[in-house]
Structure formats: C-alpha cells, structure tokens
C-alpha cells in the first residue's frame, strides 16, 4: 500500500512502482494474510487514480531527423519492407491497414498539423494536440511503433510486428496479426485477431487477447490491477504458466500436472512447445479456447494446408 501511495502522490515513477510491486511475486500466495490480498485486490483502482488526469512528460526520441515529407495528408510512399514510427501526445491515434492501398496518409485535427519525416526505410510521424485525432492509413508494412501519452490508440487490420508504449489511455487492436510488444499504463488493452507472439505489460487496467496462436518461443503477459482474459487458438502449441496474487485463475483447459513450481498453475495446449508466462496482481485470470473465425487475410473459408 505504501508503494501505491507513493505512486499516486507522484513520488516514484510507474517503472519504479512496477519493480517494487514485482517483488511481491516471491511471496507465497497461500500464506499471504487476507488483508494483504484485499489490498492487492484494490490495485487497479489505486493505479487508475494515479494516472487519472496525469500529464506525462513526452520524450522526443532522436529529435527531428530525416527528410520532411510534404503534405502527408495527400499520401506518401510506404512499402512492404518499411517501418512507421508514431510519436504523439494528447491525441487519439487511429491506424488502419488497407491491403489495396499503395500509399500512406496522415491526417490530424490537433493543435498543430502532424509532421512526417523519412530516414531510409523508416517514416516518423510526430503530433501533439489536446483532444485531437490522428488518423493514419497504411498499406502493408513490416514494422509499426507507437509511443503515445494522454490519448487512446486504436489499430485495425494491422499485419506487422507492433511495438506500443501507451500512458494514460487505452489500446484496442481489431483484426490484427503479427507479434505485439505492448506497455500500457493507466488503461485497458484489448487485442483481437491472430496474434502470433506477445509481450505485454499493463498497469491499472485489464487485458483481453483473442485468438492468440503461438507455436514457438517465449511470451509473457503481466497485469497489475485488472483482469486478464486470454483466448488461445486450438492450433497453438503452448504451455501456459500462471501466477496470481489477489485473484484467482479459471480455465477452459484442464490443469497440466507436469511438475510446475510452487505457486504456479500450468496449462497445456497441443504439444506445449511455446511458453506463455502470465502474471497478475490484483485481478483474476481466465484462459479460454478461441473459436476459429474466418481469416481476415483470406477473406473467406480457411484454406486447407
């Protein structure tokens, strides 16, 4: 409670609070006093209040490098091997991938128009504007990075490796594929699509991931103060390890008795080749099986083979 109080009073940063709270992970949840578990159960409300109305300092990484792209609202070249980096403050960012598009467009309604610069195969968008909107349309690209403070982010149909850092807002990704590396502080994160890899941290909000299909590698979901709902594709090959403080684990998949460590529940889908570590403080975890939907990439029935 003292750690959370210092966070709410802005005496420590969110990152420092995260490290201090993570040390609770070494505690034995079965021996933890009831009042401590109740305190952890209130984590979401406390963290939410800590971020409510808080204006985060916006760091302009790397400065304004590269060649300026004139009139980005009219369209500019962005290829399948290129990257898009978005830096925004106080704006609601909406990014849509259109497979039939051959150029990208950036339109903003903030205090100042968004600026776009190109350096090699990377285009960087910078925008700031309280309660403004930043609407971006992209053709298929290789990599997308978004750093946003004081606004919400929404992605639709993005098929790329994605990295997102979001402070004080919510993230919603619809019909997306690829690997997601997400850090969300003060809001909820909701991802749907065929996510092939995930490394997600969420403080002060809930996490929902639909149709997560992982077959190799290591993946992680960490949530402090909210519920975690994971829907895994039946075609996954993954061992899910859960550790929860101040909450409970429910699963549509029977527990796997394969020698999990003390305080860790383990579930297996398929051969269990990949590993997904799920840690939650102050919230419940649910593991379900996703119903295989029609693929957005095929536009029809799933193809054989």
- Map out the domains of the chain with their CATH numbers: 2-51 (no CATH), 67-289 (2.160.20)
Structure tokens given for 182: 């997400």
At residue 301, the pLDDT reads: 37
Mean pLDDT in residue range 150-167: 94
Mean pLDDT in residue range 79-105: 94
The pTM of this model reads: 0.81
pLDDT beyond 50 at 187: yes
Mean pLDDT in residue range 95-118: 91
Mean pLDDT in residue range 223-250: 89
Percent of the chain whose predicted confidence (pLDDT) is above 90: 50
At residue 259, the pLDDT reads: 55
At residue 109, the pLDDT reads: 87
At residue 94, the pLDDT reads: 97
The residues, any chain, with a CB within 8 Å of residue 258's CB and separated by 6 or more, are: 239, 266, 268
Mean pLDDT in residue range 214-221: 96
- Indicate the pLDDT class of residue 300, thresholds 50, 70 and 90: very low
Mean pLDDT in residue range 13-19: 72
The helix (H) or strand (E) run that includes residue 40 is: helix 34-41
Q: How far apart are CA 192 and CA 188, in angstroms?
A: 13
pLDDT beyond 50 at 22: yes
Mean pLDDT in residue range 162-182: 93
Helix (H, G, I), strand (E, B) or coil at 38: helix
The residues, any chain, with a CB within 8 Å of residue 290's CB and separated by 6 or more, are: 210, 211, 212, 231, 232, 233, 234
Mean pLDDT in residue range 264-284: 91
At residue 32, the pLDDT reads: 53
Higher pLDDT, 296 or 184: 184
Phi and psi based region of residue 269 (left: phi greater than 0; alpha: psi -120 to 50; beta: remaining): beta
Percent of the chain whose predicted confidence (pLDDT) is above 70: 76
At residue 58, the pLDDT reads: 41
Mean pLDDT (the chain) is: 82
Mean pLDDT in residue range 131-154: 92
Q: How far apart are CA 236 and CA 198, in angstroms?
A: 13
Which of 32-36, 138-142, 152-156 has the least mean pLDDT? 32-36
pLDDT beyond 90 at 14: no
Higher pLDDT, 113 or 305: 113
pLDDT beyond 90 at 72: yes
């Amino acid at each position: 409670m003292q750690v959370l109080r210092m966070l709410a009073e802005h005496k420590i940063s969110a990152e420092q609070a995260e490290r201090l709270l993570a040390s609770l992970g070494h505690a034995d949840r079965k021996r933890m006093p009831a009042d401590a578990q109740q305190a952890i159960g209130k984590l979401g409300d406390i963290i939410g209040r800590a971020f409510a109305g808080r204006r985060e300092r916006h760091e302009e990484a790397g400065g304004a490098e590269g060649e300026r792209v004139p009139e980005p609202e009219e369209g500019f070249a962005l290829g399948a091997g290129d990257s898009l980096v978005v830096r925004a403050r106080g704006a609601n960012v909406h990014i849509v991938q259109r497979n039939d598009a051959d150029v990208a467009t950036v339109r903003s309604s903030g205090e100042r128009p968004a600026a776009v610069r190109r350096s090699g195969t990377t285009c960087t968008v910078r925008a700031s504007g309280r309660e403004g909107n930043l609407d971006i349309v992209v053709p298929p690209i290789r990599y997308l990075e978004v750093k946003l403070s004081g606004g919400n982010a929404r992605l639709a149909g993005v098929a790329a490796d994605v990295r997102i850092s979001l402070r004080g807002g919510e993230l919603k990704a619809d019909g997306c594929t690829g690997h997601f590396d997400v850090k969300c502080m003060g809001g909820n994160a909701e991802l749907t699509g065929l996510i092939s890899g995930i490394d997600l941290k969420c403080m002060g909000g809930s996490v929902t991931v639909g149709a997560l299909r992982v077959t190799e590698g290591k993946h992680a979901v960490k949530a402090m103060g909210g519920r975690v709902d994971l829907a895994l594709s039946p075609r996954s090959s993954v061992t899910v390890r859960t550790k929860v403080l101040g909450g409970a684990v429910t699963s549509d998949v029977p527990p796997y008795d394969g020698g999990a460590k003390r305080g860790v529940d383990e579930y297996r889908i398929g051969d269990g080749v990949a590993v997904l570590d799920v840690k939650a403080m102050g919230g419940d975890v649910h593991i379900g099986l996703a119903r295989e939907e029609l693929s957005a990439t095929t536009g029809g029935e799933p193809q054989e083979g």
